[in-house]
Amino acid sequence: MKGLAIIIFIFFQLWSVAYGADGEFAVSNIPADILEHANVIKRMEEIRFDLDNVSKPKMYKKYVLTILNDNGDNDAVFSESYSKFREIASIDGVLYDDKGKKIRSLKKDEIKDLSGVGQEDLIDDHRVKQHSFYCKTYPYTVEYEFEIKYNTSAFFPYWIPQEGYYFGVQQSSISIIFPKSYTIRYKALNYSGEPEKSESHGNNVYSWRVKNLKPIEKEYAAPSWYNLTTFVLFGPSDFQMDNYQGSMSTWKAWGNFIIALTQNRDVLPDNIKKDVHQLTDGLKDTRQKIKVLYEYLQKNTRYISVQIGIGGWQPFDANYVASKKYGDCKALSNYMRALLKEAGIPSYYALIEAGEGEDDIIIDFPSPQFNHATLCVPVGKDSIWLECTSQTKAPGYIGAFTGNRHALLICENDSKIVSTTKYGMNENLMVRKIDGAVDSAGKLNFYCSTKMKGMQQDDIHERINYYSKEKMMEYLKQTIDLPTYDVVKFDYKEDKEIVPTLSETLEITATDYAQVSGKRLFIIPNIVNRIGTKLKMDDTRKYPIEFSAGYRDIDSIEIKIPAGYEPESIPEDLKLESKFGKYVRTTKVLPDKIVYYRLHERDASRFPATDYADLVKFYEQMYKADRSKVVLVKK
């Protein structure tokens, strides 16, 4: 009887676990204040980075996410990269329902092993382990636990508990375990206080923890993500990568490591040296020599990434690029440096975080915050930056890809953070002239001539250099802000100066452009360049307003009107000048045409959150002004 009682007791215990009270990760256990505005809730996260063996660190990570709706599905996918320097030792996963009951575990054969590179990569040892439970019954919860083993001490994790907007956190922690003889470096943003400090098995342990972080709602023109939420960046002092020793204690020390990787890799073969001298020996102007050699690089090489092991950091030598006619950003920048050196022009290899819209680096914390290599050429008091991976950019123009940010300039025992080229509203200029005619049925035919300069031409420059004519026509027929229109023809010309200008000419027919009502025609004279942002008033704005780049738009428009019409209503001229920029609009109706002028300019700037109400009003005024109508009535 006693044995039977024990069996019955065990049965009911198991039954209660399976069918009784909700589990630990039940949605009902989430505090209400972090559920509001959330797509994802991080229930728990534990990260341990163990430097007990400094040359071969290990990282253990376990996290649990509750996915509340389909906007959070991407966060539910497990994805971790691996390479020669980074091995994924183990992966485990569990799927739970809304009550925190286990549905099933990850099966090893469900883990995908994918290439971690793009189409422009020729050889690369970076790969990705990926897994998804593909659950669509909301809410659901995923748990993942894995371990990473490193073969270098150059890469430290960072800690950012909130991984995006509408992402709440119940609890998250990270601990760094390191020998007492080792110096750990960290930079904490939006974290109050110092880390908890303890000891374990003779090592130091530093820990950071957060609880109950409410989701952050997306706000217009908010600063970089790491300025909005808790973020701790870690970096080594001394480290090893393959047979190279380095230090990141200062930018100078970090630069010396990069110099060691590039040492004696700028020797050109004799045939390329001969080309350099044939191209430049007859030129006296240094800028002209730079231009000629940059165009030589563009014509004779192309970008393909070849990164295996240390090759992810070390450029292939100049002879390799000369013979293969290709290279990645590091190899091509190093090759261009060798070409300039042969012409007697010094230049400097530089590391940067590249990409339009990418955050700038944290300049007071030396660490590998970079994803790209480029080249800087000092000319007098100026610096010419060369994007060596582009076969189409103007010499010296870097645009939104690497402009308006900081780079690590690699100099012998003097590496330092410098600013790249700044592009403001004087450089980012767009001047448009439109000549059109509207008939009594509302049909508008017009010619549009636009000169785009600086960052204003970046997008179109990429498209016309990589799109076919057919694809470009398809793009134009989908992106112009007109209700019904047809692009009759188009043409583009580029002026590749150090701040390039791209000229666009379009011929367009827009049916039903003007509204017809009895004897009246309602015409919006601002045909294609209207403010599309209509901001909502928000009394709870939390974060500063930040405009990362300035620009200036100038539109001049003339629209011929059908005979027999006279103006019944003409918008009043408007001039707005505020801290947020300048807006001018004038409208005149002559006997045979409407003459319209518009100016809008804004510079890179930052404003406190308390200015948001004024910004809403400013945008509302521009939004209405851009859509103001001229009313013509038939005599």
**What does 471-529 look like in DSSP terms, one character per residue?**
HHHHHHHHHSS-SS-EEEEEEEEEE-SSS-EEEEEEEEEETT-SEEETTEEEE-S--S-
Nearest Cα to 495, choosing from 583, 394, 347, 618? 394
Beta bridge partners of 146: 61, 91
pLDDT digits (tens, 9 = 90+) for 607-635: 999 999 999 999 999 999 999 999 999 98
Please check whether the two domains, 27-237 and 429-634, share a CATH topology: no
Going from the C-alpha of 397 to that of each of 385, 425, 501, the distances in angstroms are 7, 16, 11
Listed by start position, the domains of the chain span 27-237, 245-419, 429-634
pLDDT for the residue numbered 410:
97
- Residue 400, C-beta contacts closer than 8 angstroms, at least 6 positions apart: 356, 357, 423, 455, 458, 549
Structure tokens at 376: 């800087």
> At 41, which helix (H) or strand (E)?
strand 40-50
pLDDT for the residue numbered 8:
34
Beta bridge partners of 16: none
pLDDT for the residue numbered 312:
73
How many other CB atoms are there within 10 angstroms of residue 423's CB atom? 24
3-state class (DSSP) for residue 145: strand
Architecture of the domain made up of 27-237: Sandwich (2.60)
Nearest Cα to 629, choosing from 471, 482, 521? 521
Name the DSSP letter for residue 242. Answer: T
Structure tokens at 606: 């930052």
Residue type, 29: N
Structure tokens at 126: 């970076």
Q: How far apart are CA 48 and CA 515, in angstroms?
A: 66
Going from the C-alpha of 79 to that of each of 91, 113, 355, 509, the distances in angstroms are 11, 10, 22, 48
pLDDT for the residue numbered 307:
61
Going from the C-alpha of 552 to that of each of 38, 96, 127, 454, 500, the distances in angstroms are 38, 53, 44, 11, 15
Domain 245-419 has CATH 3.10.620.30: yes
pLDDT for the residue numbered 125:
61
Rg for the chain (alpha carbons), in Å? Answer: 30
pLDDT digits (tens, 9 = 90+) for 323-340: 999 999 999 999 999 999
| CATH class of the region 429-634 | mainly beta
Q: How far apart are CA 495 and CA 493, in angstroms?
A: 7
Long-range contacts of 577-585 (CB under 8 A, 24+ apart): 578/614, 578/618, 579/605, 579/607, 579/611, 579/614, 580/605, 580/607, 580/614, 580/615, 580/618, 581/618, 583/618, 583/621, 583/622, 583/625, 585/526, 585/625, 585/626, 585/628
pLDDT for the residue numbered 474:
95
How many other CB atoms are there within 10 angstroms of residue 497's CB atom? 12
Spell out, as residue ranges, where the chain has pLDDT lower than 70.
1-21, 116-125, 306-311
Q: How far apart are CA 595 and CA 589, in angstroms?
A: 6
Q: What angle do CA 307, 310, 312 make, to 5 degrees?
A: 35
Interior/surface letters 333-369, b for 16+ CB within 10 angstroms, e for the rest: bbbbbbbbbbbebebbbbbbbbeeebebbbeebbbbb
Residue type, 578: S
